[in-house]
């Protein structure tokens, strides 16, 4: 199961890096659960799809650079860098570019992502948001 779990989790990362919400939704279970780094959680494919649409409007070039991957059965842990450009009122600008270390815990069920939990320092993007 670990190889399949890693494959599905990395496909989810590729969909994020393409900002492809249709591909993300296709990889989610119907009761998909997303938990952000502040502990706020949402549940359900449609709700989380809408959240990704909103996030990609705020950070249109958001991407993940995964450097390490670990799996135990259906659980995958990925370590790397999250990065993007915050799109403030005046639109994206180079001064609003940020990056932060990230850890992600994904749980895979029947070849789909059942849970996506993010652990990251949000201060780099918050600083850009305060300036805009």
Instruction: Specify whether the CB–CB gap between 109 and 33 falls below 8 A.
Output: no
Domain with residue 114: its CATH number is 3.10.450.50
pLDDT tier for residue 15 given thresholds of 50, 70 and 90? very high
Structural domain containing residue 97: 2-131
pLDDT reported for residue 128: 77
User: pLDDT (tens digit, 9 = 90+) per residue, 36-75?
Assistant: 998 999 999 999 999 999 999 999 999 999 999 999 999 9
Please compute the mean of the pLDDT values over residues 86-93 and round it to a whole number.
Answer: 75
pLDDT reported for residue 1: 67
Q: Rounded distance, CA 126 to CA 46, Å? A: 26
What is the percentage of the chain residues whose pLDDT exceeds 70? 96
Structurally, the chain folds into a number of domains equal to: 1
pLDDT reported for residue 101: 97
The model's pTM is 0.93
pLDDT reported for residue 26: 98
Instruction: Specify whether the CB–CB gap between 47 and 24 falls below 8 A.
Output: no
User: pLDDT (tens digit, 9 = 90+) per residue, 95-105?
Assistant: 889 999 999 99
């Amino acid at each position: 199961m670990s190889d399949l779990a890693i494959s599905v989790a990395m496909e989810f990362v590729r969909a994020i890096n393409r900002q492809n919400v249709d591909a993300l939704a296709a990889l989610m279970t119907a009761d998909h659960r997303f938990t952000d780094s502040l502990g706020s959680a949402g549940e359900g494919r449609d709700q989380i799809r809408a959240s990704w649409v909103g996030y990609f409007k705020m950070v249109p070039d958001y991407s993940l650079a995964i450097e390490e991957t670990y799996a135990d059965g259906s659980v995958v842990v990925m370590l790397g860098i999250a990065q993007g450009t915050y799109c403030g009122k005046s639109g994206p600008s180079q001064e609003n570019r940020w990056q932060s270390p990230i850890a992600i815990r994904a749980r895979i069920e029947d070849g789909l992502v059942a849970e996506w939990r993010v652990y990251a320092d949000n201060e780099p993007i918050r600083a850009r948001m305060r300036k805009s």
